[in-house]
Amino acid sequence: MIETPAVDKTVQMAKLIRESFATVETKAEELSQYFYGVLFSVSPDTRALFPINMATQRNRLLRALVYVVQMVDRPDELTTFLSQLGRDHRKFDVLGRHYDAVGVALIAALKRFLKDDWTPEVEDAWVTAYGVISKSMRDAAGKEVGPAWWKANVVEHRLVSRDVAIVKVRTEQPLPYRAGGYVSIEVPQRPRMWRYFSPATAPRDDGLMEFHVHAVHGGWVSRAIVRHTRFGDVWRLGPSLGALSVHHTESRPLLMIGGGTGVAPLLALLDDMSRWRNNPPVHLFFGGRRPEDLYALDELRGLTVTCPWLTVTPVTEEGTISGGDRGTLATAVTQRGAWKERDVFVAGSPSMIRATIAKLLAAGTDLARIKYDPFTLD
């Protein structure tokens, strides 16, 4: 089959973007600092859109760039992701000129750090790519007619371990979301510091949503939620995002891999699937460093009693647990094969996701079968 000129150009653009980004990835933190310096210089009013402490925001920018670079030649997935991001950014009151300023800052930062590798071809590739990114986000935001955010009241806060809390909130009006997705949250203790968390339950008619939050070291928002959330606190929730979803008509077996509170979106999927008449086989690996980190294991084992299609394997890096495996999640999963017959969902810390996907690919799992979301942690 002969490639058309348009396809050939897209392949070349993807190649240039990946290669140039790989060159500057080791200087990611400096690039991010420079990017925001330029952005706030060319568009000073954008500073009010961000929190005072920018450390986590800079990390999120880089994770977004990495995710886009990975999908640059997968237009359908990229468009879906960017459309969700555009709708989500409505809560910041982002204007059209802000997108233009971001483009100026991004190109300036890349040009500065690529130096002699910043060729006219590389510049054209990045300018073209950002044009697609900006248009997709603007178009999606312009078409959205729902609220930019939803108000939710905290109705329960419960510590289930030293660093993990389960928080239940009830929205004042229904927030449409799919099981397996995630939403951005702003809490009163940390204004303007929006963070992404996954509901651990499928949508309910009464607007009740449950979140599992781990107090991440250095995590301003997650630690505030775990330590300082109180009954009656008012949260703001952004629109639903995410790539993890299962439709009740699908019959392909599933492999789910959840590390720590990363199991939350998988619990939501299982909650949803438990209401269906027929289900494909599901094997869930739930991992933590120590047995006490597997805070949701009793709930998962309870599900296996009523859901015969579900198998749960606990995994710990230190200590042992009855019926469990020892080691990292990546090792425990791939020791049992490549799981080529299954669709794979991975959720957890960025490092756990990277290590697990790398092991799966090395074992022969098809990348197209692996799904994960990039923004689920503080």
Residues 260, 360, single domain; the answer is yes
Residue 256 has pLDDT above 80, yes or no: yes
Q: Would 166 be classed as within a structural domain? A: yes
- Domain with residue 270: its CATH number is 3.40.50.80
Domain boundary among 219, 241, 263: 241
Residues 264, 224, single domain; the answer is no
Residues 162, 94, single domain; the answer is no
Residues 293, 165, single domain; the answer is no
The predicted structure's pLDDT at residue 62: 66
Domain boundary among 110, 127, 143: 143
Q: Would 378 be classed as within a structural domain? A: no
Residues 196, 215, single domain; the answer is yes
Residues 15, 129, single domain; the answer is yes
The predicted structure's pLDDT at residue 56: 61
Residues 11, 136, single domain; the answer is yes
The predicted structure's pLDDT at residue 326: 94
The predicted structure's pLDDT at residue 1: 42
pLDDT in tens, 139-182: 988 888 888 899 999 999 999 998 999 999 999 888 999 999 99
- Domain with residue 229: its CATH number is 2.40.30.10
Residues 120, 92, single domain; the answer is yes
Residues 104, 59, single domain; the answer is yes
Q: Would 247 be classed as within a structural domain? A: no
- Domain with residue 112: its CATH number is 1.10.490.10
Q: What is the pTM of this model?
A: 0.79
Q: Would 270 be classed as within a structural domain? A: yes
Number of domains in the chain: 3
Q: Averaged over 78-104, what is the pLDDT?
A: 85
Residue 187 has pLDDT above 90, yes or no: yes
Domain boundary among 122, 143, 164: 143
Q: In which domain, by residue range, is 124 found? A: 5-143
Cα three-residue angle 297-299-302, rounded to 5 degrees:
110
pLDDT in tens, 130-142: 898 899 988 988 8
Q: Would 127 be classed as within a structural domain? A: yes
Residues 10, 125, single domain; the answer is yes
The predicted structure's pLDDT at residue 59: 65
Q: Would 319 be classed as within a structural domain? A: yes
* Neighbour-count burial of 165, counting CB atoms closer than 10 A to its CB (0-12 exposed, 13-18 middle, 19+ buried): buried
Residues 217, 294, single domain; the answer is no
Q: Would 172 be classed as within a structural domain? A: yes
Q: Would 200 be classed as within a structural domain? A: yes
Residues 59, 161, single domain; the answer is no
